[in-house]
Amino acid sequence: MRDRGLLIVLSGPSGVGKGTVRKALFSKEDVSLHYSISMTTRNPREGEVDGTDYFFKSREVFEQLIEEDKFIEWAEYVGNYYGTPVDYVEQCLAEGKDVFLEIEVQGAIQVKSKFPEGVFIFLMPPSLSELKNRITTRGTETEDLINNRMTVAKEEIEMMDAYDYVVENDQVDLACDRIKAIVQAEHCKRTRLREKYKQMLEAE
């Protein structure tokens, strides 16, 4: 029987670099993870593409999909809905493919209750001042929204203990290496190789 894929959840406060680290990770040739594209009701930022960065939907459509139970998890975050469509994740896991979610904390907690066997990684900035600096220099948020995201960020960091791993994002490449090492170790823990070798011994 084929192993189910791993469900890997990367979360952490707004602006810590989840998107940056995820993109760097997916650009590496030795990484074979499948990214689950989220749905959101927020407006696309400059350069964002529907179906690549997010599936951009109206609030009406999103609420209809919630009614139809089409999300593994969803959350309202700083005034917009975000959610993980269930079908893609279920299909990948059943086919033995590893799926990668990059989501905020409320959503990650929901995923943990449904998929306790998932691998939950919390990305941390080197300091809170560096976090504010990153949100500010990204230049996508107004002053009010930056302050809003910083208030939420402190509450999010308090949830760190609910995760299996905490990874510091001091440098993007180092953070990627740490995440790759976690994925490899989790594969070794769960693989059916033990069963294979036990059967090999019994067959002797």
Residue list for the binding site for ATP: 12-19
Q: Which stretch binds ligand ATP (CB under 6 A): 32-40, 41-49, 53-61, 169-177?
A: 169-177
Which is nearer to ligand LQESDW3C, 31 or 152 (by Cβ)?
152
Residue among 7, 9, 10, 14 that touches ligand ATP (CB under 6 A): 14
The entry of ligand ATP, ligand LQESDW3C, none that residue 148 binds, CB within 5 to 8 Å by partner kind: none
The pairing of beta strand 55-56 with beta strand 39-40: parallel
Tell me the residue number closest to ligand LQESDW3C, measured at CB: 107
From CA 107, how far away is CA 109, in angstroms rounded? 5
Site for ligand ATP contains 169 (CB under 6 A): yes
- Tell me whether residue 60 is exposed, middle or buried, using C-beta atoms within 10 angstroms of its C-beta: 0 to 12, 13 to 18, 19 or more: exposed
The entry of ligand LQESDW3C, ligand ATP, none that residue 84 binds, CB within 5 to 8 Å by partner kind: ligand LQESDW3C
Site for ligand ATP contains 41 (CB under 6 A): no
Which residue type, as a one-letter code, is found at position 16?
V
How many residues of this chain bind ligand ATP (CB under 6 A)?
13
Which is nearer to ligand LQESDW3C, 84 or 169 (by Cβ)?
84
From CA 44, how far away is CA 46, in angstroms rounded? 7
Task: Quickly tell me which residue has 């919630």 as its tokens.
Answer: 66
From CA 17, how far away is CA 137, in angstroms rounded? 12
Cite the beta strand spans of the chain per DSSP E.
7-11, 34-35, 39-40, 55-56, 71-77, 80-85, 99-102, 119-124, 165-168
The entry of ligand ATP, ligand LQESDW3C, none that residue 7 binds, CB within 5 to 8 Å by partner kind: none
Residues near ligand LQESDW3C (CB under 6 A): 14, 18, 38, 42, 73, 75, 77, 82-84, 102-104, 106-107
First to last CA, the chain: 22
